[in-house]
Each structure stands twice: as structure tokens, then as C-alpha cells.
Amino acid sequence: MSLTLSIDGQPATPDDLTHVALVNYGAYTSFRVEDGGARGLDLHLSRLEAEAMELFGEPVGETRLRALMRDAVAGRDSCWLRVSLFSPEISPRTPDWRGRPRVMIAVSPSPPPLAESVRLQIQSYARDAPHLKHVATFGLIRARRLARAAGFDDALFVDVEGKVSEGSLWNIGFIVGNDVIWPQAPMLAGVAQALVQRGLGPTGLTGRTAPVHVDDLRSFDAAFICNSATPACAVSAIGDQAFATSPALIERLHAAWTSNPVQPI
């Protein structure tokens, strides 16, 4: 399957793509499509509507979003969907426009999980408007490059006081006994994170949110990262703090994620 791009249900034109390439203002969500639906589709739709309101001043409408998604994935049993919001009326010189954003949908093969385990470099960084899944990815890509150049796999973000928030492309959870602790800090509320939390009960795990500082890392039994392509991936180390990696724990977390039904588009 090759990549296809559509905008408001029509093939993307060079003019449309020129604007998207040159103006870095917009937001998106992305997820795996399975059998014509997606796990956590309700959360992805809510995210898009909230992003549309905050960034453009008008929602797209769930009915329209679903129709555009159905058209984009027609005839495919499984794929990866990225649904982006933008407006050609908005640019650095013309930032004032308000209205319903245009919807760009990219359909591609589903990506593999990020890794089986990762070593994370601690970096002092915070995304602009961290509650939004926006398209300003310069800082994230640079953070991953710096981490890899230093011999790590990825970057874990902390503030100037050492409070943990999120990673470059994912949320992080920490384990103490049978308790999952999600960091409490300004960050993106990940859909995969929410789905894991929703499904913890039958696995024998519980979950809660609490502030996590770098100095707290030694008190945790394990850690993992999660996003829509990687429901659970073990963290083997954060900086010089090593963690035990347990395939059984990752299986329990993955089971929590898969317990969420596929919601039809």
C-alpha cells in the first residue's frame, strides 16, 4: 500500500500541499485502523474537535469527520490514518482567520512498534501548548536526534525543577507493585495512555496520576512508554537509572489496551 493524501474528501492538490509544507500551524491525530474501526476512536474524534475549536474557532463536526475517514479507508482492512486540521487562510502574516478548518487525511501502512525496550535520555524541554497534538515537531525531532547521538534511544522531558512530563512521541508510565503511576504535568493526554488506563482492572493493575520527579526514579520497579503504534514498550533505563524489563508486565499492559473494543468509523 502506498501513501494517499486527501483534503476534504478530494485528492490533495499541489497548492494545498504547498501551504501545508510552508505554514506550520495545525493539529492532528493518528491511529491504526482495524476492520473498519479503531480503538479509542471516540477519544481521537474528541481530540480533533477540541483542536479545531482552540486553533481555528469552529469544530469540523463528528459526522463530517467520520464520513471523510470512511471514504479515505474504503476497501482497506487495516491501515494507518493520520487526520490533520489546517487552514490555507492562516499564515504568519494573516493569523486572524476563524472558521471550520480543512481536513487532510493520510492513509499509509501501519508502522511497527517503536521498539521492544528503550533507554531514555533526560532532557529539559516542554512542548508549546503541550495539551495539543499540534504539527510543530521541530523540538521533538531534535530531542530524539540529540538522544540518539548520545547513545540513547529517545528523550524523556522534564521541567527545570526535574518534574517528568512526557517523551518525544509517547507517554510514560511507572510501576510500583501493581500500581501504574502516570506523571502529573503539562503534557498531551495520549489516547493509548487512556486506553491502557481504561483496561487495567481485569489485569490486576491499578492506575493513578501523581507528580513524578527525577529523584523519584529509583523508587519505581519498572517503566514503560505507550502511544497508538506502541501500546506498551519497556523502559530499560532512564539516564543512569536502570529498570527491570518484564515481558509478563508488558503483556498485561498490552492486554489492558486490547481490552478496548474496535469502534466502527
- Section 85-89 average pLDDT: 97
Closest Cα to residue 117, out of 82, 152, 65? Answer: 152
Residue 93 burial by Cβ neighbours in a 10 Å radius (0-12, 13-18, 19+)? exposed
pLDDT, tens digit, 9 for 90 and up, residues 123-140: 999 999 999 999 999 999
Q: Is residue 7 very low, low, confident or very high in pLDDT (cuts 50, 70, 90)?
A: very high
In this prediction, what percent of the chain has a pLDDT beyond 90? 97
One-letter-per-residue 3-state SS of the chain: CCCEEEECCEECCHHHHHHHHHCCCCEEEEEEEECCEEECHHHHHHHHHHHHHHHHECCCCHHHHHHHHHHHHCCCCEEEEEEEEECCCCCCCCCCCCECCEEEEEEECCCCCCCCEEEEEEEECCCCCCCCCECCCHHHHHHHHHHHHCCCCEEEEECCCCEEEEECCCEEEEEECCEEEEECCCCCCCHHHHHHHHCCHHHCCEEEEECCEHHHHHHCCEEEEEECCEEEEEEEEECCEECCCCHHHHHHHHHHHHCCCEEEC
pLDDT, tens digit, 9 for 90 and up, residues 30-71: 999 999 999 999 999 999 999 999 999 999 999 999 999 999
Residues 6+ positions from 192 with CB-CB distance below 8 Å: 40, 170, 171, 226, 227, 228, 230, 231, 257
pLDDT of residue 6: 97
Q: Is the pLDDT of residue 1 over 90?
A: no
> pTM for this structure?
0.95
pLDDT, tens digit, 9 for 90 and up, residues 236-255: 999 999 999 999 999 999 99
Q: Is the pLDDT of residue 190 over 70?
A: yes
CA distance 32 to 38: 6
Q: Is residue 75 very low, low, confident or very high in pLDDT (cuts 50, 70, 90)?
A: confident
Q: Is residue 2 very low, low, confident or very high in pLDDT (cuts 50, 70, 90)?
A: confident
- Section 156-161 average pLDDT: 97
**Which residue segments constitute the domains of the chain, with CATH numbers given?**
4-108 (3.30.470.10), 117-264 (3.20.10.10)
